[in-house]
Chains A and B, each alone.
Chain A
Amino acid sequence: MNPVDKRRREFFGQAAAIAGTLVAPGLMLYEYAQAKAPADPVSGKVRWGMLIDTTKCAPGCRDCVDACNRENGLPGSTRSTDSQWIRKVDLKDLRTGRAVSIPVLCQHCAEPPCVDVCPTGASFKREDGIVLVDRHTCIGCRYCMMACPYKARSFVHEPTTGQKPDVPRGKGCVESCTLCVHKVDRGGTPSCVEACAAAGHGAIVFGDLNDPQSEISRRVRAASTTQLRADLRTDNGVRYQGLPG
């Protein structure tokens, strides 16, 4: 190899290394952000949902509930006036006596009754299926709480403390599970899902119901799942496995 070729090879090698060093972190960050920059609109091609495997959800386990309270700055107390965005419900089948324990949260319906009834449009559904309350236009009429078939909403009955910057809350407004939208928009997953996985239960799968390759879609295709009060045809984004309807 003559010296000119050798220098040329070294030059290309160094240039590739420098380019790689410059581009790689950007690519990694880009992946981390799941291709959605803050200014990008939410895409209707995505429908976020959850699959809850009731056979893996242990009675008495509150990991998801505690994680939700920590993430969203909720006090975690359970007076009848306190907010509970996710709760564990113990169920006993009246026909067979079989007992299960399941987390219940906003079901992020495709046809949400809370959105229909809200007089100001403060209750709204994003293109990606996440149902939220706009804290600036909620007048605190509580009609959405009357309309929700799942008792998923809470009214802030008293002044709030310990608010998190990502999760604004306010006395006199209605609130509910946001599906940790502040994390999802940065490519993360809801805190309840992370906590359940970290504890080794893996009872909650989060993902895009519109993506046929996602784990949630494959699981929903493979196993029989139910939506709560499917007779109301609200087409819930939260599905339950192992809970006969």
Chain B
Amino acid sequence: MSALSRSASARRAFWLLLAAGGAVVAVALGAAHYMEEHGHVVTGMNNQVVWGLPHVFAIFLIVAASGALNVASVGSVFGESAYKPLAPLSVLLTVALLAGGLMVLVLDLGRPERLVVAATHYNFRSIFAWNMILYNGLFAICALYLWSLLERRLGALSKPVGIAAFAWRVILTTGTGSIFGFLVARSAYASGLIAPLFIALSLAWGLAAFYLAQCGLARLAGQEAWDEALHARVRRLLAIFVIAALYFVAVHHMTNLYWARQGAFERFILVTGAPYPALFWIGFVGLGSVVPLALLFHPRLAGPRATAAAALLVSLGALAFLYVFIIGGQAWPLEIFPGYEAASSFRDGQVDGYAPSLPELLLGLGGVAASFVIALAGARVLPILAPPKVAIPAAGPAK
């Protein structure tokens, strides 16, 4: 029997949450239908800002999906046995987040009904096409990984499959970062640094998402979410990942500042181009990184509640970062005529505005809700949650 169906109150709470998540998904599907019926004219997107709020949510979920596999990797690949009981949820969450992100990405297409075209026509020079293969491959590997973790007879498979999953997700996030990194003409992107930056971000965002999922599901099941020793390690790990992400973001901006031609863009995104500087400094750096670090490191705030608050702030900071990165990066005009001041009816040389519309927000939230529903339902039908009172050994590699 699943831990989520042991008591009547747990069963009731499960169905209520499932219904609530399902309702948000249904609303998102309605919003996507509305966008498809009327065209993207009902969104805030235009011919300059071509990727809007749905992409912010989709990229967040896809990058976090890759990072959510961390916990399983630490157990299977790096032999830290303390993490092994948490591995099934880690893999399930990867599947759930990836599915939610892809749902948003597909429903934001101009022609979502042509998904079969995307599945049957591949341009192998396109990193986008490679990513479709990588995303589908991750689903397949995660399914096998989860099976090997839950089925005792396949236990021996869990290590090689875990190593394959780890390698696959590193390549996948490199691919996601390269979607932007390969855009040679855009000041905001066009950098090989974006691939490792995305990997660092995925570590932080994925672990934050995992922490929240573990806390939520354990609470629903009436279990203790964390063993104290393990909690201390996860807390430290999250802090290290947040610092690594900050480091890569700083290096990316410093690289841009070093190049004279990128100076104007950096001034726009970091100082003058409202609302992006506020979202970057207050949203991502302040509330999304510095405050979580304070919560994670402060000796008086060592409890799960402070860590959960830190994880939530890291996730919200992620959305702020991606809003600046994706939308701010497009709002800045292309430099088509270096050395000239340009003006045209197509807004050449101008910073273009973008105001997200309600359908876009609903679609993005629907992706989060879809991930939530998949994780919740998965935790109910599969023996995902670590049994209570499990003896978790202290830190150290597995024997």
List residues of chain A with CB within 8 A of the CB of B229. none
Give chain B residues whose Cβ lies under 8 Å from the Cβ of A141: 109-110, 128
Q: Is the CB of A151 within 8 A of B126?
A: no
Contact B109 A151 (CB under 8 A): no
Chain A interface size range: 35 or more
A7 to chain B minimum Cβ distance, whole angstroms, is 69
* Minimum C-beta distance from B49 to chain A (A): 8
User: How far is it, in angstroms, between the C-alpha of A122 and the C-alpha of B109 when the chains are bound?
Assistant: 14
Question: Is there a chain A Cβ closer than 8 Å to B347's Cβ?
Answer: yes
Distance of B189 from chain A, by nearest CB (Å): 8
Are the C-beta atoms of A138 and B51 separated by less than 8 Å? Answer: no
Cross-interface CB contact of A172 among B36, B117, B182, B186, cutoff 8 Å: B36
Interface check B300, CB cutoff 8 A: no
Contact present for A104 and B336 (CB under 8 Å): yes
**Contacting residue for B111 out of A83, A88, A172, CB 8 A:** A172
A234–B114 CA distance with the chains assembled, in angstroms: 30
Kindly state the interface size class of chain B when it binds its partner: 35 or more
B184 within 8 A of A: yes
For the complex, is A32 an interface residue (Cβ under 8 Å from B)? Answer: no
B342 close to A (CB within 8 Å) = yes
Please report the C-alpha to C-alpha distance between residue A20 and residue B312 in the assembled complex, in whole angstroms: 86
Whether B110 and A87, one on each chain, are in contact in the complex, defined by CB atoms closer than 8 angstroms, is no
**Mask of B30-42 contacts with A, CB within 8 angstroms, 1/0:** 0000001011110
Q: How far is the CB of A83 from chain B (nearest CB, A)?
A: 8
Q: Mark A86-126, 1 if CB is under 8 A from B, else 0.
A: 01111111110000000010000000010111111110000
Q: Does A159 contact B (CB under 8 A)?
A: yes
CA distance A81 to B340 in the complex (A): 25
Tell me if A78 and B39 are in contact (CB < 8 A).
no
The one of B40, B51, B114, B352 that contacts A146, using a Cβ cutoff of 8 Å: B51
Interface residues of B in 353-374 (CB under 8 A from A): none
The answer to whether A137 and B39 have CB atoms under 8 Å apart is no
At the interface, yes or no: A155 with Cβ under 8 Å from chain B? yes
A89 to B337, CA, bound (A): 10
Q: Is A151 a contact of B336 with CB atoms below 8 Å?
A: yes
Cβ contact within 8 Å between A120 and B123? yes
Q: Which residue of A lies closest to B49 (CB)?
A: A80
Q: Is A154 an interface residue (CB 8 A)?
A: yes
Measured between alpha carbons, how far is A229 from B184 in the docked complex, in Å? 11
Q: Tell whether B289 is near chain A: CB-to-CB under 8 Å.
A: no
Which one, A81, A140, A232, contacts B41 given CB within 8 A? A81
Residue from the list B48, B118, B125 in contact with A151, Cβ < 8 A: B48
Give the shortest distance, in Å, between A134 (CB) and chain B (any CB): 9
For B348, the closest partner residue in chain A by CB is A89
Which residues of the other chain, B, contact A118 by a CB distance below 8 angstroms?
123, 126, 128
Known A139-B118, A141-B128: A81·B46 in contact at CB below 8 Å = yes
Taking the complex as formed, is A149 at the interface, i.e. its CB lies under 8 A from any CB of chain B?
yes
Cα A149 to Cα B183 with chains together (Å): 9
Tell me whether A148 is interfacial, beta carbon within 8 Å: yes
Residues of A within 8 A of B339 (CB): 93-95
Shortest Cβ distance from A150 into B: residue: B336
Given contacts A139-B111, A171-B110, A174-B110, contact A119 B40 (CB under 8 A): no
Is B282 engaged at the interface, CB distance under 8 Å to the other chain?
no
- Within 8 Å CB of B343, what residues of A? 89-90
Min CB–CB distance A66 → chain B (angstroms): 12
Q: Which residues of B contact A81 (CB under 8 A)?
A: 40-41, 45-47
Q: CA–CA, A116 to B183, complex, Å?
A: 11
Query: B110 to A119, Cβ gap below 8 A?
Result: no
Closest residue to B132 on the A side, CB-wise?
A119
Determine if B179 is an interface residue (Cβ-Cβ < 8 Å). yes
What 0/1 readout, one digit per residue, does chain B (61-74) give for beta carbons within 8 Å of chain A? Answer: 00000000000000
A155 touches B185 (CB 8 A): no
30 contacts between A and B (CB under 8 A): A79-B46, A84-B346, A87-B346, A90-B342, A91-B337, A91-B342, A92-B340, A93-B340, A104-B344, A117-B127, A117-B128, A120-B121, A120-B123, A121-B123, A138-B111, A141-B110, A142-B51, A145-B47, A145-B50, A146-B50, A147-B183, A150-B336, A151-B334, A157-B41, A158-B38, A158-B39, A159-B39, A172-B111, A229-B185, A229-B338
Known: A138-B111, A155-B110. 15 other contacts (CB 8 A): A91-B342, A92-B340, A121-B121, A137-B114, A139-B111, A139-B117, A141-B109, A141-B128, A146-B51, A151-B334, A171-B39, A172-B110, A174-B110, A228-B336, A229-B336
> Which B residues contact A (CB, under 8 angstroms)?
36, 38-41, 45-48, 50-51, 109-112, 114-115, 117-118, 121-123, 125-129, 132, 179, 182-186, 330, 334-348, 352
Task: List 5 A-B pairs, minimum CB-CB distance, nearest first.
Answer: A140-B110, A172-B110, A149-B185, A80-B46, A119-B128
